[in-house]
A and B are shown apart, each in its own frame.
Chain A
Amino acid sequence: MKRLIIRKKSRKNFLTYGIVVAAYVALMAVMAAGAMPSAIQGLLVPMCAYIIAAVSLNLTVGVLGELSLGHAGFMSVGAFTGCTAAMALANSGMPSWGRMAAAVVVGSLLAAAAGALVGVPVLRLQGDYLAIVTLAFGEIIKTVVTNLYIGIDPQGLHFGFLKPDIGLGKGGKMIVNGPNGISGIEKISTLTAGFLIILLCLVVIFNLVDSRSGRAIMALRDNRIAAESVGINATKYKLMAFVLSAAMAGAAGALYALSQNTVTASKFDFNTSILILVFVVLGGLGNMLGSIVAATVLYILPETWLRQFSDYRMLIYAVVLIGMMLVTNSQKVRTLLGKLLPQKKTKEKEGQGDA
C-alpha cells in the first residue's frame, strides 16, 4: 500500500540519527565492559564501511533512480588512494586520526573525480544500458588498479602501470603492488570514525533530499521529461547525485582499507557491488534506515550466526536472500506463509520511494 499522505520526513530522519547514535553508544559500552567477542570486534569497522557504501548507493538507486552495478569500483578508488595517502604520511608525525581523516578525504575526493569521469558518459544512457555500463566501469577500475604500482621514496610518490619497476630511489618503499595490492597496512580506522562518517553521510543525504537540489534529483527519477519541462537540468542533477554517491563510497573504501592488513583490487569486484545493491534493495529504495539495518544484518550474519553451518553458510545466505525477496514482494507467497504460520503476522513493508 502506498501511503496517501506523505508525512514530514524530519521525524523519520531524527529516528535514523537516534538509532545510529544509540547503536554507537551501546557498542562502546559493550566494548568498555570487555564483553565484545573478538570475532565481532574486528568486523565493526568494515561493517561501518559497508553501511556507508549502502547508504551512498541508495542515493544513486533510491533517490536518483538509476541502477548502478559498479559501486565497488568507487570504493576501490577510495581504498587505494586513501591508503596511499595514509602510508605516504606515515613518517610525517601526524597523529593516526589525522592520517585517517586525510585518507578519507583524499579517498572521497578521488572517488568523486572518478564518479564525475564515469558519470558524464554513463548518465546519458537509460535503464539497463546504464546499469551495464556502470558494471563495465567497475570492471575497468578493477583491472586498472590491479595493474597499478605506486611507491614512495624521499623524492616523493612514483607511479607505474603494468610494470612493477617504477624507479624507486634509495629508502624507497612500494605501497601499491599490482595484483598483490597494498599490504602491511597500519589499522588506523576506528569505530568512532566509522560512526562519524555514517552520521555525516546521513546529514548530507537527508538535507540534500529535503532541498531544492534533492527535489530536482527526485523529479528526474519520477519523470525526466516533465522535470526538464519545468527547467531542471538533467545532466547537472544526475551528475550531482552520482558524484556525491561516489565520494561517499570512496570514504567507505578508505575506511575499510585502513581496517585491514591487506587490500587487493579483487576485493572490490562485481560481487561486492552486488552485495551492496542487495543491502539497498532489501532495506528499501530511498529508505536510508533500511539500508543501514540491511547492511548490518547481512554483513554480520554470514560472519557470525551462519558460521555454525560452516560449509552451508553461503547456501543458506542465498536461500535467505531469495526468501526475503519473495516474502517482501509477493502477495501470494505472503498469504501462503500466513497460512503456514497463523500466529505470526507478516509485517507490511514500508512503502518504497518515500525518500
Chain B
Amino acid sequence: MPELKFEKGKMVPVPSHSIIPERDLGHAPVLECSHLGVDFGGLRAVNDFNFTIGRTEIAGLIGPNGAGKTTVFNLLTKVYTPTRGTILLNGMDTHGKTTVQINKMGIARTFQNIRLFSNLSVEDNVKIGLHNQKKYSALEGILRLPSYWKKEKEAHERAMELLSIFNMEYMANWRAGNLPYGAQRRLEIVRALATDPCLLLLDEPAAGMNPAETAELMENIVKIRDKFQIAVLLIEHDMKLVMGICEGICVLNFGEVIAKGTAEDIRSNPTVVEAYLGKKGAQAC
C-alpha cells in the first residue's frame, strides 16, 4: 500500500477533525455528517456525530460493544430517522429520504447479522442487488418482451462479473442460505456492490473469519475500492484489519465520538485505550 499523508479536510463546513486522503482533497467528500444524533426514548444512542469521508477513502468506525456503531449505519441508511443533525451525501441533504432512496443516492451496506435472501440462489441475490441497474417493467417480464431477454442477459453477465471479485462464480446456483459463513459475508458485499454505490458500509465484514480469510478480505476491500473508485466505511473489531487498511478512523463510545484520526493517532490516544481496556487496564499499559 502506498504511504498516505493525511490533512485536515478543507471542505467540511463544521468543525471537524476528520481527515481526508490527499488524493481526495480536490473532490467533494462523499459523506459529511454534522451533529448527527438519535434518541431512543430517553437514551441518547448517538450524539453529536461529526464525520467526513473522502471520495475514495477507506474509513473505519470502531468502539466497544454497544457504542452505537451499527446505529450510525442505521442512521446513514435511514433505517432509523435521525433526531438531530444532517447527513450530506455527495453534497446533497438526505433529510426525509427513505432507505430505498438512500440506496439509490449511493449508499449500500452489509449487515452485522447476515441478511441474505436465503431461499434464493446466489445469482438471484446479486441480481436483486442489480434491481435498479437493469430495469424493465413487470409487464415486460410477464410477457417476455425482447427487453426482458436483453436486460436479463446483462444482469446475468454483471452478476457473474461481480461474483468473480471473490471467485464465487461457481456458487451461482447454490442456495444462499446454505453457503458457508464466510461466503455469506462475501455475498452480502457483492450484493451491496451490485447496487452501484459510491459509499459502501461494511458492518463487521471479518466477523467469524479466520486470520487467513481476514487477510484476504483486507486485500479484497482495497481491491474493491481501487476498482470501483468508491469510499468504504467499515465497522470492525479486528484491529489488524482496521489499522491495516483504514485511512481515517473514528472511535465511538457511549454514542459519542471520543477520537478521530489516522491509525497512528488512534493507537496512541489514551482516551481510546481507556475506552477499550478501562482505567486500570490503560494504566497497566
Contact = CB atoms under 8 A, between A and B. Distances in A.
A355 to B, nearest CB: 8
A176 interface: no
Interface residues of A, number: 35
Interface string A206-244: 011011111110110111011111111110000010000
Contact of A231 (B103, B111, B151, B155): B103
B142 A208 contact: yes
Contact of A230 (B79, B118, B178, B191): B191
Interface in A231-259: 231-234, 240
B79 A2 contact: no
Contacts of A234: 100
Contact of B175 (A5, A207, A215): A5
A7 interface: yes
A222 B121 contact: no
Interface of A: 2-7, 203-204, 207-208, 210-216, 218-219, 221-223, 225-234, 240, 353-354
Interface of B: 77, 79, 98-100, 103-104, 108-109, 111, 115-121, 124, 127-129, 131-132, 134-138, 141-144, 148, 151-152, 155, 173-175, 177-178, 191-192, 194-195
A226 B128 CA distance: 10
A2 B77 contact: no
Contacts of B134: 212
B100 A223 contact: no
Residue in A228, A230, A232 with the greatest tally of chain B CB atoms within 10 Å: A230
Contacts of B192: 229-230
A4 B144 CA distance: 29
A234 B121 CA distance: 20
A115 to B, nearest CB: 15
B103 A230 contact: yes
Contacts of A6: 120-121, 173-175
A215 B103 contact: no
Given A207-B141, A212-B127, 9 more contacts: A6-B174, A212-B141, A213-B138, A214-B141, A216-B128, A229-B115, A230-B195, A231-B132, A234-B100
Closest 4 CB pairs of A and B: A211-B141, A226-B115, A231-B103, A213-B138
B109 A229 contact: yes
A2 B117 contact: no
A5 B173 contact: yes
Contacts of B191: 230
Given A215-B124, A219-B120, A230-B194, A208 B77 contact: no
Residue in A211, A218, A234 with the greatest tally of chain B CB atoms within 10 Å: A211
